[in-house]
Chain A
Amino acid sequence: SQTIHQWPATLVQPVGSPLSLECTVEGTSNPNLYWYRQAAGRGLQLLFYSVGIGQISSEVPQNLSASRPQDRQFILSSKKLLLSDSGFYLCAWSPRGRTGGSPLHFGNGTRLTVT
């Protein structure tokens, strides 16, 4: 069966510090990968998605970047965190090859607090 791992679970970082969140998927090949953010009491905002190694689509201009160095690895980064980067970051995957109609499966999330 497929599993998705995301770490760390919680993170407290000062303003201006760098960020690296990692996500890996097991049990499947060529997944579509996603990073979502959920601010407190808000809905899910798609940040990035990837349909293959090195292929990243950005949904909103922001202080963050994403990379996909391996097929089942997705990394979210920032060079300098802002207070507004605080939130609940969720990595997700879906099967490749379907342009729509597949559910996303989420990792356990990383709760980031920028102080």
Chain B
Amino acid sequence: QKEVEQNSGPLSVPEGAIASLNCTYSDRGSQSFFWYRQYSGKSPELIMFIYSNGDKEDGRFTAQLNKASQYVSLLIRDSQPSDSATYLCAVPVYNQGGKLIFGQGTELSVKP
């Protein structure tokens, strides 16, 4: 069974700091990785995806992928209280209808 692991948190950072969220995966063949944000009581929302080794930046968000070490991380710069949510890492299972395996999620709390 393919696995995706995340620290459940909560991770607490002060406003304006960098929040670092990590995810490890078991399948060395995984080629793409997705980060979702889920506010309490709401459905997950895609915020980043990354396919290649290295960094991908989108505004305040940076996704980092290291396939050799089988981890993917999400950095949030200049964290805001509105970033307080649970962040889910997801990895696709190939040739099975495109389904995604999700980590348990990391709860982030940004304190003003």
A107→B92 CA distance, assembly (Å): 19
- Known contacts A50-B97, A107-B43: A44-B92 contact under CB 8 Å: no
A104 near B31 with CB under 8 A, answer: no
Give the docked Cα–Cα distance between A13 and B89 (Å).
32
The number of chain B residues touching the other chain, given as a range, is 20 to 34
Say how far A44's CB is from chain B's closest CB, in angstroms: 4
Docked pose: A101 CA to B31 CA in angstroms? 7
Of A14-22, A69-77, A92-100, the stretch lying at the interface with chain B is A92-100
Residue of B nearest to A45 (CB): B102
Asked whether any CB of chain A lies closer than 8 Å to the CB of B46, the reply is: yes
Q: How far is the CB of A72 from chain B (nearest CB, A)?
A: 16
Residue of B nearest to A91 (CB): B43
Known: A34-B99, A43-B103, A104-B98. 15 other contacts (CB 8 A): A32-B97, A43-B105, A46-B100, A49-B96, A49-B97, A49-B99, A51-B97, A90-B43, A98-B98, A100-B31, A100-B92, A101-B98, A104-B90, A105-B46, A111-B41
For chain B, what secondary structure do more than half of its interface residues adopt (helix, strand, loop), or is it mixed?
Answer: loop
Q: Is B32 an interface residue (CB 8 A)?
A: yes
Let me know if A103 and B102 touch, CB within 8 A: no
Is B72's CB within 8 Å of the partner chain A?
Answer: no
B37-80 CB mask vs A (1 if < 8 Å, else 0) is: 00001111110010100000000000000000000000000000
Smallest CB-CB A-B distances: 10 pairs: A100-B94, A100-B92, A101-B32, A43-B104, A106-B43, A44-B102, A49-B97, A109-B43, A51-B97, A94-B98
